[in-house]
Structures are given as C-alpha cells and as structure tokens.
C-alpha cells in the first residue's frame, strides 16, 4: 500500500482515516460518528483491569 504525501499536516481520524481541516472538525466528527468508542474510552480510571494486567511499583 502506498500512502499519499498530500495533506499530511491535517488531522486524521484514527478510527476511520478521514482527513479534516482542523482539530475542532475532527473532535466534532469523533463525537458524532464514533460516540460509543469515545464514551467508552473517556475515563480510563472507571475500567477494571484486563486479565493479565500487571501493576508496576
């Protein structure tokens, strides 16, 4: 796969690879189209540890 060099300075949605003009448009897109994903990952402290997680002291 060859990626184009055009628009590399613009923010890109890591979930669907759409390119946006600015970060505000990206934020609005993610809150509208990927609402479930964003809400699930909004507060990491609310999630219980996954099996195999290790606490490092």
pLDDT digits (tens, 9 = 90+) for 9-52: 889 998 898 999 999 999 999 989 999 988 887 776 666 777 88
The per-residue pLDDT for 17 is 86
Give 24 or 56, the one with higher predicted confidence. 24
Position with higher pLDDT, 46 vs 54: 54
Report the predicted TM-score, pTM, of the whole model to 2 decimal places: 0.58
pLDDT value at position 25? Answer: 94
> What whole-number distance in Å separates Cα of residue 41 and Cα of residue 57?
24
As a whole number of angstroms, the distance between CA 54 and CA 17 comes to 32
């Amino acid at each position: 796969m060859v990626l184009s060099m055009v628009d590399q300075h613009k923010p890109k949605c890591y979930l669907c690879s759409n390119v946006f003009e600015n970060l505000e448009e990206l934020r609005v897109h993610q809150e509208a189209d990927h609402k479930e994903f964003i809400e699930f990952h909004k507060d990491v402290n609310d999630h219980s540890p996954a099996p195999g997680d290790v606490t490092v002291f």
